[in-house]
């Protein structure tokens, strides 16, 4: 059977999803399996398993099978990235290589590059990219670039600002190389943010990986202003102004992946600090089943988001995965018969089959203005990236009341707090009660790395917290010891924790009389809502995360 037929026969995808992917395949030229993964209809591991069966090629698990350094030296990094292949080991005179899409052409290219026979195996594309990023380090030569910078530092200090800017323009300049290396390594380490922080005698560079900051580099203090100036040039910012906070944007291609970087600078007592938010536009969409919701929550949520009108809101702090949940929802309800339009700032996921609008303040494209224009575009489903002000909230609610289905995100502590945020924006309670179908509160917890998971004895305080939260007795608790695959952190990737508040008739009555947060929360729990804390403890019980991670991330009172 062809791969598409096999996927439908095994119930991995529906016929509708396959038809949608085939229509896009004619325009994009991509393989059908890769397209289905991009659309969020298929899991990469299921695709790899079926390809292994269809092509009779062995399947490897790169979470366990770590590349051998002797094999890595035989295959240049450029070839590994171009083919998306990672060398595993040398067996006699044969090099074993894992690829996402086996073919005779790839085997020949790899054999010529390694100058020896090659045996192919299959692994998910994302796992291969992770293995490549962990194997080939971009920061390996940063010390040499820092030495080259310091050697010419006296000349650079004497240069005029214009000459200073010109000294950063060449691709071979040490500062340019350090910035490029840092951004490249951050992308390879799955970092969401880069913090460049000047201090008394050094410049500290930290990456936020899976929600936690990690020290990566300590550079000489005199290179700090040069690094920030180079970043400002890339982002189109004013390099002379060093006292005011500034914002900018960089579009880059790193390792063949489109990267959108949001830059923010601010003055500290030691100099300018820069924070770079990395948005990898090539990321694959998640499916509802992969987010971390329990099956019963997925079933209820799935019914709510298939409503022909009304509004569903995802709430939580910055970086809690709200946009990921919204796009997984869109992938679930996407239908060729529906017109889906989104308005976002920024567009974090590129969804091939829907219409996406990017906010542009300079051009006058705002959430409120863009939402008004969307309503003239005959939409069925509208996604508002974020409700930031009363005008946007009012238009979104009016859209939900006039026969459209609206998805949106909102900054709030939990699901009950989101209702009060709308009231705080001076939205009339009767409009909130009439339009809202449900509110999802969420957080992200780091997953225990399965490659280095080991039994551990929690502290007395952690055990007390676990019991107080209603956790059942456990014989063993687990945590990651740290390995190459998880960058020695013991955690790899994150899982969502959700609470689903349904706007029932009883809840509408509380909203109409502006009830307190505790009353709303108590009714939601009485009507079946499992709180964030309860769901987080369930993940500890299932050995997906640790008690310490729950205490660090979830509001515990």
pLDDT of 26 > 80? The answer is no
pLDDT of 521 > 70? The answer is yes
% residues pLDDT > 70 (the chain): 96
Residues pairing with 97 in the sheet: 87, 120
Average pLDDT over residues 469-494: 86
Q: Which residue has the higher pLDDT, 518 or 346?
A: 518
Q: Helices 174-188 and 224-235: crossing angle, nearest 10°?
A: 70
Q: What is the pLDDT of residue 557?
A: 54
Q: What is the pLDDT of residue 245?
A: 93
CA distances from 144 to 73, 79, 171, 219 (A): 21, 24, 15, 12
pLDDT of 112 > 50? The answer is yes
Helix (H, G, I), strand (E, B) or coil at 155: helix
Distance of CA 376 to the CA centre of its chain: 32
Q: What is the pLDDT of residue 106?
A: 87
List of residues 6+ apart from 218 with CB closer than 8 A:
202, 203, 204, 205
**Please, what is the average pLDDT of the chain?**
88
| pTM, full prediction | 0.76
List of residues 6+ apart from 158 with CB closer than 8 A:
none
The answer to whether 21 and 41 are in contact (CB under 8 A) is: yes
The answer to whether 272 and 229 are in contact (CB under 8 A) is: no
Q: What is the 3-state secondary structure (H, E, C) of 534-548?
A: HHHHHHHHCCCCCHH
Question: How many angstroms separate the first and last alpha carbons of the chain?
Answer: 55
């Amino acid at each position: 059977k062809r791969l598409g037929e096999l996927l439908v026969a095994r119930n991995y995808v529906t016929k509708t999803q396959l038809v949608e992917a085939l229509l896009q395949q004619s325009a994009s030229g991509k393989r059908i399996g890769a397209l289905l993964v991009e659309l969020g209809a298929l899991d990469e591991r299921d695709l790899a398993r079926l390809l292994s069966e269809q092509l009779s090629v062995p399947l490897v698990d790169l979470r366990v099978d770590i590349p051998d350094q002797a094999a890595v030296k035989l295959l240049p990094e450029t070839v590994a990235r171009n083919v998306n292949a990672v060398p595993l080991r040398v067996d006699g005179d044969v090099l074993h290589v894992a690829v996402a899409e086996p073919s005779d052409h790839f085997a020949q290219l790899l054999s010529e590059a390694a100058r020896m026979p090659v045996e192919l195996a299959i692994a998910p594309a994302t796992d291969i990219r992770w293995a490549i990023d962990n194997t080939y380090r971009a920061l390996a030569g940063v010390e040499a670039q820092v030495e080259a910078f310091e050697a010419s530092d006296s000349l650079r200090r004497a240069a005029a600002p214009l000459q200073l800017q010109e000294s950063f323009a060449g691709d071979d300049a040490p500062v340019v190389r350090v910035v490029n290396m840092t951004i490249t390594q951050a992308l390879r380490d799955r970092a969401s943010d880069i913090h460049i922080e000047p201090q008394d005698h050094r410049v500290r560079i930290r990456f936020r990986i899976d929600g936690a900051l990690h020290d990566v580099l300590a550079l000489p203090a005199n290179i700090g202003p040069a690094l920030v100036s180079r970043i400002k040039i890339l982002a189109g910012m004013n390099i002379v102004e060093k006292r005011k906070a500034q914002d900018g944007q960089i579009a880059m291609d790193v390792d063949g992946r489109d990267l959108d970087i949001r830059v923010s600078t601010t003055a500290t007592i030691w100099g300018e600090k820069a924070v770079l938010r990395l948005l990898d536009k090539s990321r694959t969409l998640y499916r509802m089943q992969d987010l971390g919701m329990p099956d019963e929550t997925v079933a209820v949520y799935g019914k709510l988001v298939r409503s022909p009108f009304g509004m569903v809101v995802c709430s939580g702090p910055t970086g809690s995965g709200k946009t990921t949940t919204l796009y997984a929802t869109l992938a679930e309800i996407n239908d060729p018969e529906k017109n889906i339009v989104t308005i976002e700032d920024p567009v974090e996921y590129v969804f091939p089959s829907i219409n996406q609008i990017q906010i542009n303040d300079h051009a006058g494209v705002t959430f409120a203005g863009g939402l008004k224009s969307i309503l003239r575009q005959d939409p069925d489903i509208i996604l508002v990236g974020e409700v930031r002000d009363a005008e946007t909230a009012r238009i979104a609610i009016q859209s939900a009341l006039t026969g459209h289905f609206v998805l949106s995100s909102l900054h709030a502590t939990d699901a009950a707090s989101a209702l009060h945020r709308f009231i705080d924006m001076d939205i009339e309670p009767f409009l909130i009660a009439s339009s809202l179908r449900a509110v999802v509160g969420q957080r992200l917890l780091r997953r225990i790395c399965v490659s280095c998971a080991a039994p551990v004895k929690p502290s007395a305080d952690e055990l007390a917290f676990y019991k107080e939260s209603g956790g059942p007795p456990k014989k063993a608790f687990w945590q990651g010891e740290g390995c190459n695959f998880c960058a020695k952190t013991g955690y790899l990737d994150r899982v969502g924790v959700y609470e689903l508040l349904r706007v029932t008739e009883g809840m509408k009555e509380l909203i109409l009389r502006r009830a307190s947060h505790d009353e709303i929360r108590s009714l939601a729990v009485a009507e079946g809502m499992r709180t964030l804390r309860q769901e987080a403890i369930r993940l500890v019980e299932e050995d997906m995360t640790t008690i310490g991670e729950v205490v660090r991330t979830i509001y515990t009172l």
